[in-house]
């Protein structure tokens, strides 16, 4: 018998290219940032309590039962779908699981943005593509807390990607357009920003009409999306909710992210810088387009059309609408960067042919030439390895936990000691149950305390829209320790007050002999009204 040996190719390690590293950084750095920054519990906590009520009772809450200032007030809980998803993760994996969920949603969002950029210009330099995505991340950073809007941001980018992938004048893969009604259905039950899908569809229909393609391809999915948006527990009333929230003056005045971004805060500065960069590039591009003749038609290459100095009207309208939305409300920071990249990315490259004539980037054909971004180096693997290692170290599984099971560094606006104290509180005055169970606390802690100490009733929480203006006037009076603040607490039969150090209310309570300290730590102090002192 003759032994036959087969030559097998030797396995050899190949270091990643620099281009691969840039693509990795475009998604990994936002994800790593999500693992380094704690999750604010300001909104998340009440979402979890509402989700628990829905899962336990099978019903969506329609009135407030958590506060003594708005008890029985109507509450349209439009975000019920996101609340259920968040609560399922929380019950299965705890706070650590929610921490990882935020990182996963951030990774998904910026992975989709990267796909959008590369789809809009497949020949774009990988380093430039990554820098565009990271720039979008920096502008969007204030909007990336774990709450229902984070689901909506990913869906927004997904709709943009679907619109970017549809081939003009061809039915190939056009079925992906029919995913938009399903996205709308999910979006309308997750977050109130779902009308943005119709803004994108309207802009796409406008572009099709101007391009002579008609509205056949998008007409059906648009009508189906309108119907899908009404498939909610509230029916078409979900649209009324959106209008109510969008026109609520109390929200606009009390929630910082609803106010217009200004030049006195970093998010506003970054937004206006990004708008200025887009405007400058459009002007530069127009000047370059007029600098010389374009490459003449050649056999085997697509015929050239005379390019416009500026993008078409639908593209300019897209930039104008989303820039205006963000200038009106800071929540637009979530939508402006992806929309701007959708428009600007195909306009970035202006190349010159060998004879010096300009080439229209949208008509350039062939694959990009080898560049420095294709070089392989062990250093590239080291960069990837270091980022992965830092991410692993930051995972919540290795962190010490508080008495409430919160891993260190995973939550902010979550005073665990105060919540534990209120959860154990069985306070009764010498005159009976006056004030028992009624707690006054800062608004930013209200939802957290409602989640962790639900047996008490609180003054206000993060559901800003359900409280009438009179309640907020009382809140400002008490928190500012203005004349009559004690009268407000007596009228509402408040027996427990939570304060933060250095506030006017904290100083006023310390000076009032009718209050006694029950608990104190670096977060704040819990006081109870000792009516035996007041007589």
Mean pLDDT value of segment 467-493: 94
In which band, very low, low, confident or very high, does the pLDDT at 436 lie, cut at 50, 70 and 90? low
Query: What single-letter DSSP state applies at residue 481?
Result: T
In which band, very low, low, confident or very high, does the pLDDT at 361 lie, cut at 50, 70 and 90? very low
Mean pLDDT value of segment 454-462: 93
Is 533 buried (19+), middle (13-18) or exposed (0-12) by CB count in 10 A? exposed
Same-domain check for residues 344 and 470 = no
Mean pLDDT value of segment 233-241: 94
Query: How many angstroms from the chain centroid is the CA of residue 249?
Result: 22
Query: What single-letter DSSP state applies at residue 76?
Result: -
Tell me what pLDDT residue 354 has: 41
| The residue to which tokens 């800071």 are assigned | 330
Same-domain check for residues 331 and 480 = no
DSSP per-residue string spanning 194-219: TTHHHHHHHHHHHHHHHTT--SHHHH
Residue 454 has pLDDT above 60, yes or no: yes
Query: What single-letter DSSP state applies at residue 354?
Result: T
Mean pLDDT value of segment 193-209: 92
Quick one: what percent of the chain has pLDDT higher than 70? 82
Tell me what pLDDT residue 43 has: 93
Answer whether residue 408 is part of any domain.
no
Tell me what pLDDT residue 203 has: 93
Tell me what pLDDT residue 256 has: 81
Q: Please, are residues 533 and 512 in contact by the beta-carbon 8 Å criterion?
A: no
Q: pLDDT tens-digit profile of 320-358?
A: 999 999 999 989 999 999 999 999 998 886 544 444 444
Quick one: what percent of the chain has pLDDT higher than 90? 63
In which band, very low, low, confident or very high, does the pLDDT at 250 lie, cut at 50, 70 and 90? confident
Tell me what pLDDT residue 348 has: 81
Answer whether residue 346 is part of any domain.
yes
In which band, very low, low, confident or very high, does the pLDDT at 218 lie, cut at 50, 70 and 90? confident
Q: Within a 10 A sphere around the Cβ of 252, how many other Cβ atoms?
A: 16
CA distance 456 to 113: 44
Same-domain check for residues 466 and 322 = no
Residue 318 has pLDDT above 90, yes or no: yes
In which band, very low, low, confident or very high, does the pLDDT at 292 lie, cut at 50, 70 and 90? very low
Same-domain check for residues 327 and 426 = no
Indicate the SS3 state at residue 432.
strand
Indicate the SS3 state at residue 74.
strand
| The residue to which tokens 């560049």 are assigned | 371
Q: pLDDT tens-digit profile of 378-417?
A: 888 899 999 999 999 999 988 998 888 899 989 999 999 9
Answer whether residue 454 is part of any domain.
yes
Same-domain check for residues 312 and 427 = no
Nearest alpha-carbon partner for 162 in 219, 204, 211: 204
Answer whether residue 407 is part of any domain.
no
Q: Please, are residues 75 and 65 in contact by the beta-carbon 8 Å criterion?
A: no
Residue 6 has pLDDT above 60, yes or no: no
Which backbone phi and psi does 301 adopt, to 5 degrees?
A: -115, 155
Mean pLDDT value of segment 278-285: 88
Tell me what pLDDT residue 434 has: 41
CA distances in angstroms from 521 to 443, 526, 529, listed in the order given: 19, 9, 19
Q: How many distinct structural domains can be found in the chain?
A: 2
In which band, very low, low, confident or very high, does the pLDDT at 290 lie, cut at 50, 70 and 90? low
Q: Please, are residues 108 and 334 in contact by the beta-carbon 8 Å criterion?
A: no
Tell me what pLDDT residue 374 has: 64
Same-domain check for residues 140 and 226 = yes
Tell me what pLDDT residue 10 has: 58
Residues in the chain: 535
Residue 435 has pLDDT above 70, yes or no: no
Same-domain check for residues 145 and 211 = yes
CA distance 163 to 120: 10
C-alpha torsion sign, points 92, 96, 102, 104: negative
Nearest alpha-carbon partner for 327 in 255, 265, 271: 271
Answer whether residue 404 is part of any domain.
no
Is 251 buried (19+), middle (13-18) or exposed (0-12) by CB count in 10 A? middle
Same-domain check for residues 477 and 354 = no
Tell me the residue ranges of DSSP E strands in 428-513.
438-440, 457-458, 496-499
The secondary element (H helix, E strand) that includes residue 128 is helix 126-140
Q: Please, are residues 410 and 39 in contact by the beta-carbon 8 Å criterion?
A: yes
Tell me what pLDDT residue 304 has: 45
Mean pLDDT value of segment 464-486: 94
Same-domain check for residues 358 and 423 = no
User: Using only C-alpha atoms, what is the Rg of the chain?
Assistant: 28
Mean pLDDT value of segment 442-463: 94
Mean pLDDT value of segment 421-432: 61
47 token code pair: 């979402």
Mean pLDDT value of segment 156-167: 89
Residue 148 has pLDDT above 70, yes or no: yes
Q: Whole-angstrom distance between the N-terminal and C-terminal Cα of the chain?
A: 110
Name the average pLDDT for the chain.
85
Tell me what pLDDT residue 167 has: 63
Residue 169 has pLDDT above 80, yes or no: no
Task: Please name every residue paired with 528 in a beta bridge, in sequence order, or none if there are none.
Answer: 496, 516
Tell me what pLDDT residue 132 has: 96
Tell me what pLDDT residue 293 has: 43
Mean pLDDT value of segment 475-488: 95
Residue 158 has pLDDT above 80, yes or no: yes
Mean pLDDT value of segment 192-218: 85
Q: pLDDT tens-digit profile of 90-132?
A: 999 999 999 999 999 999 999 999 999 999 998 888 999 999 9
Answer whether residue 10 is part of any domain.
no
Q: Is 521 left (phi over 0), alpha (psi -120 to 50) or beta?
A: beta
CA distance 12 to 176: 40
Q: Between these two residues, 284 and 45, which has the higher pLDDT value?
A: 45
Task: Please name every residue paired with 483 in a beta bridge, in sequence order, or none if there are none.
Answer: none
Domain range for residue 442?
Answer: 415-534
Answer whether residue 245 is part of any domain.
yes
Nearest alpha-carbon partner for 207 in 302, 318, 122: 318
CA distances in angstroms from 335 to 52, 242, 318, 426, listed in the order given: 30, 17, 11, 47
Q: Please, are residues 495 and 434 in contact by the beta-carbon 8 Å criterion?
A: yes
Tell me the residue ranges of DSSP E strands in 282-422.
351-352, 358-359, 411-412
Q: Between these two residues, 166 and 275, which has the higher pLDDT value?
A: 275
CA distances in angstroms from 152 to 109, 117, 318, listed in the order given: 10, 19, 19
Q: Between these two residues, 249 and 411, which has the higher pLDDT value?
A: 411
Same-domain check for residues 346 and 442 = no
Answer whether residue 111 is part of any domain.
yes
Same-domain check for residues 128 and 252 = yes
Residue/partner pairs of 478-487 with CB below 8 Å, 24 or more apart: 478/440, 478/505, 479/442, 479/503, 479/504, 479/505, 480/504, 480/505, 481/505, 481/507, 481/508, 486/512, 486/514
Q: Please, are residues 320 and 199 in contact by the beta-carbon 8 Å criterion?
A: no
Same-domain check for residues 244 and 330 = yes
Query: What single-letter DSSP state applies at residue 369?
Result: P
Tell me what pLDDT residue 308 has: 53
């Amino acid at each position: 018998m003759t032994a036959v040996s087969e030559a097998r190719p030797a396995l050899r390690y190949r270091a990643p290219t620099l281009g691969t590293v840039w693509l990795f950084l475009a998604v990994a750095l936002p994800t790593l940032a999500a693992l380094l920054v704690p999750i604010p519990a300001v909104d998340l906590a009440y979402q979890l309590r509402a989700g628990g009520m829905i899962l336990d009772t099978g019903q969506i809450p329609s009135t407030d039962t958590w506060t003594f200032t708005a008890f029985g007030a109507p509450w349209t809980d439009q975000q019920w779908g996101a609340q259920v998803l968040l609560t399922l993760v929380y019950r299965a994996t705890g706070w650590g699981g929610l921490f990882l969920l935020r990182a996963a949603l951030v990774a998904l969002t910026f992975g989709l943005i990267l796909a959008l950029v590369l789809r809009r210009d497949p020949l774009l330099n990988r380093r430039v593509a990554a820098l565009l995505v990271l720039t979008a991340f920096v502008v969007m950073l204030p909007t990336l807390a774990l709450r229902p809007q984070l689901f909506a941001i990913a869906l927004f980018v997904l709709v943009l990607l679907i619109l970017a992938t549809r081939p003009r004048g061809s039915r190939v893969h056009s079925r992906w357009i029919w995913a938009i009604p399903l996205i709308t259905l999910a979006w309308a039950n997750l977050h109130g920003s779902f009308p943005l899908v119709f803004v994108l569809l309207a802009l796409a229909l406008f572009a099709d009409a101007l391009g002579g393609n008609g509205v056949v391809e998008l007409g059906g999915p648009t009508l189906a999306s309108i119907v899908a948006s009404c498939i909610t527990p509230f029916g078409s009333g979900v649209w009324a909710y959106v209008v109510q929230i969008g026109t609520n003056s109390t929200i606009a005045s009390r929630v910082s992210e609803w106010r217009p971004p200004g030049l006195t805060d970093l998010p506003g500065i970054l937004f206006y810088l990004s708008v200025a960069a887009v405007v400058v590039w459009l002007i530069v591009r127009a000047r370059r387009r007029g600098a010389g003749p374009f490459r003449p038609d050649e056999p085997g290459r697509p015929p050239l059309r005379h390019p416009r100095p500026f993008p078409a009207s639908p593209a300019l309208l897209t930039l104008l609408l989303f820039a205006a939305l963000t200038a009106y409300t800071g929540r637009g920071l979530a939508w402006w960067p992806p929309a701007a990249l959708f428009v600007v990315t195909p306009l970035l490259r202006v190349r010159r042919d060998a004879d010096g004539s300009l080439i229209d980037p949208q008509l350039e054909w062939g694959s990009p030439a080898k560049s420095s971004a294709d070089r392989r180096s062990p250093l590239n693997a080291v960069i990837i390895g270091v980022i992965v290692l830092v991410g692993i170290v930051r995972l919540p599984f290795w962190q010490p936990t508080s008495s409430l099971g919160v891993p260190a560094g995973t939550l902010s606006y979550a005073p665990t000691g105060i919540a534990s104290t209120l959860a154990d509180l069985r306070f009764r005055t010498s005159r009976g149950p006056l004030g028992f169970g009624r707690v006054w606390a800062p608004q930013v802690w209200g939802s957290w305390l409602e989640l962790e100490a639900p047996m008490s009733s609180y003054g206000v929480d993060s559901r800003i829209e359900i409280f009438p203006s009179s309640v907020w006037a009382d809140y400002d009076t008490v928190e500012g320790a203005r004349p009559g603040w004690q009268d407000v607490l007596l009228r509402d039969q408040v027996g427990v007050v939570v304060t933060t150090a250095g506030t006017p209310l904290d100083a006023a309570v310390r000076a009032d002999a009718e209050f006694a300290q029950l608990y104190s730590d670096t977060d704040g102090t819990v006081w109870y009204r000792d009516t035996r002192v007041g007589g």
